[in-house]
Structure 1
Amino acid sequence: MKHISVLLVLMVLFMGCKRKEEKQPLEKEKERPDFVVAFGSCNMPQEPNPFWDDVVAENPDVWIWGGDIVYADTDDVDRIRTIYAMQDTVQGYARLKAEVPIIGTWDDHDFGLNDGGYGFAVKKESQQVFLDFMGVPSDSERRNREGVYASHEFEMPEGKVKIIVLDTRYFRSDLIKDEDPKRRYKPNTEEGATILGDAQWDWLKGELANSDADFNLIMSSIQVLSGEHGFETWGNFPHEVQKLETMIVESGAKGVIILSGDRHISEFSRATITGLSYPLVDFTSSGLTHSYASFSGEPNSHRVGEVVSDKSYGIINLYFKDKEAEMKIMGDNGAVLQELKQTY
């Protein structure tokens, strides 16, 4: 009986310990994002792109081209078309294209002219080739208006995302050369100098003012908030920067985030805008197949964190309930090179 009593005591102690273990809270698994955006820019189809398998693995809801999809730099429209066709033969990209919606805009090198703007002689023809590459139907209204700007809405059970892609090439006024050898351009403050042109500005105003989306992402091929470096940037047209910021505030649009490319570096810029209830972030992701490897620094008073001069792409995880955007600069094999979280 003594042995049986001891055994019963041990069993009771064991069961008590087990119950205590079961009561211990399990480590909380990270909540899956409600919507995943992947984007990138500065891509040469003839060069290795190590990221397509990583992008597919992220299971994004959309891929956004941020410009310089290819490097054509020619007024030979057939040549531009041929180089786009090369991109479609890239195996990793073909897989992404088969699984994920592809949207986006162009920049100067796929437009056809380095640092080019409204004066490019074959911009109308180049536009049609771009729309062909993006799979825009022949009867789309985009085929009959100037420029490649567009908006796309994605509605989920948890909320809605609106993605606005701008055209910063077709209508852009002339850049002004800077006498400073360390800078390429200086601000153009002439009356009427523009990046978007009147028709696109009117369209953008309506897109923002009428948006009921929880997040509104604006893809600008060139940087908006980083305007001090002297290369291409919205900062070369300061009146346009002010106009955009004012329009965002007055629209009342929720969760506006700016995306950009062009620079062959990746970085986060963030600014406090009077009248806006949240900081405005400009997430630059560039480039996919080549980067500014010799980067040694440049001014950006709005920079958050450090510049990433390695090849990279961008990921934005959106959470509707928490109104949070988790932005990541991504390297090869899922490496997170830098991240920024912002609530709205």
Structure 2
Amino acid sequence: MMSILPKFSKPLGIVFSLIAIASYSQNKTYSIAFGSCDNQRLKNELWKSIDDNHPVAWIWGGDDVYSDTEDMKELKDNYAIQKKDSDYLQFISNKQILGTWDDHDYGLNDGGEEYPFKRESQQLLFDFLGTPNDAPERFRDGVYNSKVIDIVGNKVKIIILDTRFFRTAVTKSVNSKKRLQPNPYGQGTILGEAQWKWLEEELTSSDAQFNVIVSSIQLLSDKHGFECWGNFPHEIDKLEKLVATSKAKGTFVISGDRHIATFSSKKVTNLNYPLIDFTSSGLTHVYSSFSGEENPYQIGKVVAEKNFGLLQFDFTNNRVIMQIRGLENKLLGEHIQQY
């Protein structure tokens, strides 16, 4: 008899298995939730609402804590505050926890390769996520890694990027109210050579029905002047070309950082479906004074309420139902992407 238990890199327990089976049997979909920008000193009121959707995994999208510091004890203590929260402890008890960092949990606001304690910070993030001590990502520079979730023979591959460890200098904006402006085309990198090679292999070798690329910063919305892939325009072109040439199925991006939630969609050359960037941020605090910004790829409304992202994978119809949800599990936005 074929097992319908989800398969991960480590066992998750019978409680998780029963929830996943019940959810899949009833809806013929299963869910993964994600979010970013969680200040450990503010109350996260969303954990129960997230859990009500029975996600099989939770993905931290960055700024998992706020700790701009070079003091590793302070960073460790801030992770401990987050991890000892009773609601969070209950939430993580029956699901896979994955994730990356952004700048405030990395240790330096808008920081990149220059941060002197990045290797120490890397290990503290993995400790927080519960990454096994013998995991490959523990022994290389950067926090990038991947996991395959398998249920009833259907696979979702989670490809987690590191947009901090290798990121070279950004360009401060001149004669503008914006913080940053794009580097000259071809100057600098977000991912670095080793991570780019790894990403190419992860995509070209994937046999998953869906491939989720986790980026802490936005890929497609690139006009706002804050951190984004648009500060390295050649890196956007490189990623879009890779997604198209790799032939990886159902590939899309999830991102955070901005304290708003939104969907962006772009037609990419030689890709037979639109590339989606689904931004969900923040969990404890948001850009409540948001009044609009230029984003030629935006679809739907921008949400400036506390929110999390929900991905419902429908294998039968080869589609992903992407939802922005908020307090009391309120549906704040939805995009259904057919692949």
TM-score (ref. length: structure 1):
0.90
Amino acid at match of 2:104: H
Tell me the residue number matched to 1:114.
109
Select the structure of larger CA radius of gyration.
1
Tell me the residue number matched to 1:97.
92
Task: Please state if 1:314 is matched with 2:309.
Answer: yes
Task: Please state if 1:82 is matched with 2:86.
Answer: no
> What is the CA deviation profile of residues 131-173 of structure 1, one whole-angstrom value per residue up to 9, with x for unaligned ones?
1111122222211100000000001105110000100000001
> What is the CA deviation profile of residues 66-97 of structure 1, one whole-angstrom value per residue up to 9, with x for unaligned ones?
00000000010111000000001111111111
1:63–1:103 CA contact under 8 A, matched in 2: yes
Q: Any idea what SS the aligned residue of 2:27 has?
A: coil
Select 1:253's aligned residue among 244, 248, 269: 248
Tell me the residue number matched to 2:271.
276
Tell me the residue number matched to 1:230.
225
Count of aligned residue pairs for this structure pair: 315
Select 1:38's aligned residue among 33, 45, 52: 33
Task: Please state if 1:72 is matched with 2:71.
Answer: no
Tell me the residue number matched to 2:281.
286
> What is the CA deviation profile of residues 196-248 of structure 1, one whole-angstrom value per residue up to 9, with x for unaligned ones?
00000000000000000000000000000000111000000000000000000
Structure 1 position 99, deviation (Å): 1.2
Rounded to whole Å, the distance in 2 between the matches of 1:99 and 1:276 is 36
Select 2:132's aligned residue among 129, 132, 137: 137
Structure 1 position 31, deviation (Å): 6.5
2:28–2:316 CA contact under 8 A, matched in 1: no
Structure 1 position 48, deviation (Å): 1.2
Q: Which runs of 5+ in 2 are unaligned?
A: 1-24
Q: Please, which moves more after superposition, 139-148 or 65-74?
A: 139-148
Tell me the residue number matched to 1:242.
237
Rounded to whole Å, the distance in 1 between the matches of 2:133 and 2:29 is 33
2:40–2:81 CA contact under 8 A, matched in 1: yes
Q: Any idea what SS the aligned residue of 1:281 has?
A: strand
Structure 1 position 190, deviation (Å): 5.5
Rounded to whole Å, the distance in 2 between the matches of 1:33 and 1:342 is 16
Select 2:51's aligned residue among 45, 52, 56: 56
Select 1:331's aligned residue among 315, 326, 335: 326
Structure 1 position 33, deviation (Å): 4.3
Structure 1 position 34, deviation (Å): 2.4
Rounded to whole Å, the distance in 1 between the matches of 2:270 and 2:40 is 43
Q: Please, which moves more after superposition, 180-189 or 111-120?
A: 180-189
Rounded to whole Å, the distance in 2 between the matches of 1:46 and 1:251 is 42
2:210–2:250 CA contact under 8 A, matched in 1: yes
Task: Please state if 1:304 is matched with 2:299.
Answer: yes
Tell me the residue number matched to 2:191.
196
Tell me the residue number matched to 1:157.
152
1:265/1:196 Cα in 2 relative to 1: closer, same or farther (>3 Å)? same
2:186–2:232 CA contact under 8 A, matched in 1: no
1:33–1:317 CA contact under 8 A, matched in 2: no
Q: Please, which moves more after superposition, 81-90 or 190-199?
A: 190-199
1:286–1:313 CA contact under 8 A, matched in 2: yes
Task: Please state if 1:215 is matched with 2:220.
Answer: no
Structure 1 position 128, deviation (Å): 1.0
Q: Any idea what SS the aligned residue of 1:325 has?
A: strand
2:325–2:331 CA contact under 8 A, matched in 1: yes
1:282/1:53 Cα in 2 relative to 1: closer, same or farther (>3 Å)? same
Q: Any idea what SS the aligned residue of 1:94 has?
A: helix
Rounded to whole Å, the distance in 2 between the matches of 1:58 and 1:254 is 25
Amino acid at match of 2:317: D
Q: What is the root-mean-square deviation in Å for CA atoms of aligned residues?
A: 1.2
Rounded to whole Å, the distance in 1 between the matches of 2:75 and 2:65 is 9
Q: Any idea what SS the aligned residue of 1:97 has?
A: helix
Q: Please, which moves more after superposition, 110-119 or 131-140?
A: 131-140
1:34–1:158 CA contact under 8 A, matched in 2: no
Q: Any idea what SS the aligned residue of 2:299 has?
A: strand
Q: Which runs of 5+ in 1 are unaligned?
A: 1-29
Task: Please state if 1:124 is matched with 2:153.
Answer: no
TM-score (ref. length: structure 2):
0.91
Rounded to whole Å, the distance in 2 between the matches of 1:101 and 1:33 is 20
1:68–1:262 CA contact under 8 A, matched in 2: yes
Amino acid at match of 1:188: N
Rounded to whole Å, the distance in 2 between the matches of 1:136 and 1:316 is 23
1:284/1:87 Cα in 2 relative to 1: closer, same or farther (>3 Å)? same
